[in-house]
C-alpha cells in the first residue's frame, strides 16, 4: 500500500502542474500590434480605424490592458480576465462582437497560446444593445 501511494502522489502532483500551468501562465504576455480597418469600441472609448498596440498594464496582475494608436491620437484602458480558446491559434487573433455597424472588442489570443484575455465589462453601449435583445455577430481578425 505504501508503494502505491508513494507512486500516486507524485503522479497526481505532476498532472496538476501540467494541466494548470497554462491557466496561470497564459494571458497576453507580449505587446500585440494590430491593423484594425474599422472603428471599434473597448471600454467606453470608440477608436477609429488604424494601427494599434495592445499591452498589459504593469502592476495590475495582468488584469488591465491599454490600447494606443501608433500615432498617439487614440487610446483606452480596459479590464480583462483569462479566456481559453477552443484551439491553439496559428495567428494572433482579435475577436469582435458586431451589432449592426458597431464593433466591440471581446477577446484576444496570441499566436501559439490558447490562453488569452476577454474584456470583462461591456461598454454602456453594448449593455444597452444586449438589454434590447440584440444578438451580436462574432468574428475573428487575424494579425
The stretch 40-56 carries a mean pLDDT of 95
Query: What pLDDT is recorded for position 9?
Result: 45
Least confident of 7-16, 31-40, 49-58, 89-98: 7-16
Q: What share of the chain is helix, strand, coil (3-state, %, to 5)?
A: 20, 40, 35
pLDDT per residue as tens digits for the range 59-84: 777 789 999 999 999 999 999 999 99
DSSP strand pairing (50-56 vs 45-47): unpaired
Distance CA 112, CA 127 (A): 32
pLDDT category of residue 103 using cuts at 50, 70 and 90:
very high
Query: What pLDDT is recorded for position 6?
Result: 52
Mean pLDDT for the chain? 84
pTM above 0.85, yes or no: no
Sequence-ordered list of residues with C-beta below 8 angstroms from that of 95, at least 6 positions apart, any chain: 105, 106, 107, 108, 109, 138, 139, 140, 141
Determine the straight-line distance between the first and last CA of the chain, rounded to whole angstroms.
55
Q: Report the share of the chain in percent with pLDDT over 70.
A: 82
Least confident of 6-10, 94-98, 104-108: 6-10
Phi-psi region of 59 (alpha: psi -120 to 50; beta: other; left: phi over 0): left
The stretch 85-97 carries a mean pLDDT of 95
Distance CA 69, CA 110 (A): 19
Of 138, 141, 121, 139, the C-alpha closest to 63 is 121
Amino acid at each position: 500500500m505504501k508503494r502505491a501511494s508513494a507512486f500516486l502522489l507524485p503522479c497526481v502532483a505532476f498532472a496538476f502542474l501540467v494541466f494548470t500551468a497554462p491557466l496561470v501562465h497564459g494571458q497576453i504576455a507580449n505587446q500585440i500590434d494590430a491593423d484594425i480597418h474599422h472603428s471599434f469600441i473597448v471600454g467606453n472609448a470608440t477608436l477609429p480605424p488604424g494601427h494599434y498596440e495592445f499591452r498589459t498594464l504593469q502592476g495590475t496582475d495582468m488584469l488591465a490592458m491599454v490600447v494606443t494608436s501608433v500615432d498617439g491620437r487614440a487610446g483606452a484602458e480596459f479590464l480583462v480576465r483569462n479566456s481559453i480558446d477552443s484551439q491553439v491559434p496559428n495567428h494572433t487573433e482579435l475577436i469582435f462582437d458586431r451589432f449592426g455597424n458597431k464593433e466591440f472588442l471581446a477577446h484576444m489570443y496570441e499566436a501559439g497560446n490558447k490562453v488569452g484575455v476577454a474584456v470583462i465589462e461591456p461598454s454602456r453601449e453594448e449593455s444597452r444593445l444586449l438589454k434590447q435583445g440584440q444578438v451580436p455577430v462574432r468574428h475573428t481578425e487575424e494579425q
